[in-house]
């Protein structure tokens, strides 16, 4: 008998590829790729630890992959380059879908000025007709260095 159910390892691999698609999409300014990793009703929350002065400016709640991509496009419009690095990752498959935790470091540059962040993506994922998609994300930024002023229009 041929079992067509995907294996746990192939699910894990697809999820990790999806998370990499997001990071490469941001850095290549491929915002359609950024939108594609989320469901249309995905809830994405960006949080900064309270001790950071920029926490109020950058903490946000966004709904939908297109809105996430539009927000990234607007935020990165004034930057010369970014690099989003994915670190240690876990993927837990559940009856409802999956949960992935990913450590991240994001570099943002304009000229010789920079703003770097580190934290964790906490993603809830579901399998759709088009494959795995993020249905919920909490980005928790735990450290920064540089100046958030680089995001201000030149």
Whether 84 contacts 104, CB under 8 Å: yes
Give the tens place of pLDDT for each residue, 115-127: 999 999 999 999 9
Domain segments of the chain: what residues? 8-151
Whether 119 contacts 137, CB under 8 Å: no
At residue 153, the pLDDT reads 62
With CA atoms as reference, report the closest residue to 105 among 123, 117, 115. Answer: 117
Give the tens place of pLDDT for each residue, 75-121: 898 899 999 999 999 999 998 899 999 999 999 999 999 999 999 99
Token pair 């966004």: residue: 62
At residue 58, the pLDDT reads 77
Query: Which residues, in sequence order, are bridge partners of residue 127?
Result: 132
Token pair 């670190």: residue: 87
At residue 2, the pLDDT reads 44
Backbone dihedral region for residue 97 (phi beyond 0: left; psi -120 to 50: alpha; all else: beta): left
Q: State the average pLDDT for the chain.
A: 91
Longest distance between any two alpha carbons in the chain, whole Å: 63
More confident residue, 101 or 50: 101
At residue 1, the pLDDT reads 42
Q: Where residue 5 falls among pLDDT bands split at 50, 70, 90?
A: low
At residue 73, the pLDDT reads 95
How many residues comprise the chain? Answer: 154
With CA atoms as reference, report the closest residue to 119 among 30, 16, 41, 45. Answer: 45
Cα–Cα distance for residue pair 129/10, rounded to 1 Å = 16
Over 90: is that where the pLDDT of 61 sits? no
Class of 8-151 in CATH: alpha beta
The proportion of the chain whose per-residue pLDDT surpasses 90, expressed as a percent, equals 75
Phi and psi at residue 16, in whole multiples of 5°? -65, -40
Q: Where residue 6 falls among pLDDT bands split at 50, 70, 90?
A: low
Over 60: is that where the pLDDT of 154 sits? no
């Amino acid at each position: 008998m041929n079992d067509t159910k995907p294996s746990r390892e192939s699910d894990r691999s697809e999820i990790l590829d999806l998370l990499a698609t997001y990071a490469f999409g941001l850095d290549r300014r491929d915002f359609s790729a950024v939108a594609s990793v989320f469901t249309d009703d995905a809830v994405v929350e960006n949080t900064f630890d309270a001790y950071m002065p920029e926490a109020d400016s950058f903490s946000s709640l966004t709904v939908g992959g297109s809105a996430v991509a539009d927000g990234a496009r607007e935020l990165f419009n004034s930057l010369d380059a970014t690099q989003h690095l994915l670190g240690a990752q876990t993927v837990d498959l559940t009856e409802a879908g999956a949960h992935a935790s990913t450590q991240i470091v994001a570099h943002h540059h304009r000229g010789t000025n920079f703003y770097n962040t580190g934290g964790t993506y906490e993603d809830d994922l579901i399998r759709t007709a088009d494959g795995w998609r993020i249905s919920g994300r909490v980005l928790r930024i735990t450290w920064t260095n540089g100046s958030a002023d680089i995001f201000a229009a030149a």
